[in-house]
Amino acid sequence: MEPYTAYSSTKAIMADQKEIDKLIDSGGAENDVKIQEMMDQLAKAILVGIILSRAISKSIEKISDMLRDFAVVAEEVRKLAEQSSNTVGEVKPIIVNVQKSVKELSGNIEDIMEFMNSKVNADYKFFVKTGEQYMKDTKLVSGIVHEFADNAKKILIAIIREINSLIINVYLVIEQNRLLPHCIKLILICNSFVTTYYLTIYMINNMKLIFKKKH
């Protein structure tokens, strides 16, 4: 089995782009629920990865002295999986709060438009143009929010796939008992995963900074 790399993970994520874009473009409470369900499923998948990595770690400890290095690698995979689970927990409330803010902003804009239509007559045209600009600003903020949510989902999917790839490769090494070549391959996989993990943290932090600047 060819292990996942940051490049191959990105290609796999782009294959799901059309489905994600449909959810984002259609909008509405129903799709907000779907997005929440997707995040819950991602969290559950991470937990499954943690359980599997723990089981692998216990199995490796029972192998002879020649396989002790693999036990150390499996332990590091477990720690990275737990850190990824914590990242999911941090991202979920951020997305929920951002979506809530967008809804409140849209509600405020609708109230302003109703006030202009019913109360303002002398400067009707001026206020209508102002309302239209507010609506454009709302769409801009909404686009930023959806872009953030989209990138967060891509990052989480890449993390899950990297974890699964590591678990499968460790299992194959143990089963086939071909130590040296698989040890080298496992080291390369771990390096790829660590690179992807820190890239994930970097992108999430950048998204947080962008959202703070917009508000």
pLDDT digits (tens, 9 = 90+) for 173-194: 555 655 556 565 666 666 666 6
At 6-16, the pLDDT tens digits run 344 444 444 44
Measured between alpha carbons, how far is 114 from 45 in angstroms, rounded to an integer? 46
pLDDT tens figures, 86-136: 666 666 676 677 667 667 666 666 666 666 566 655 566 666 676 677 667
Question: Which of 165, 147, 162 lies closest to 214 in space, CA to CA?
Answer: 147
Q: Say which amino acid occupies 184.
A: I
Question: With bands split at pLDDT 50, 70 and 90, how would you rate the model's confidence at 4?
Answer: very low
Distance CA 103, CA 112 (A): 14
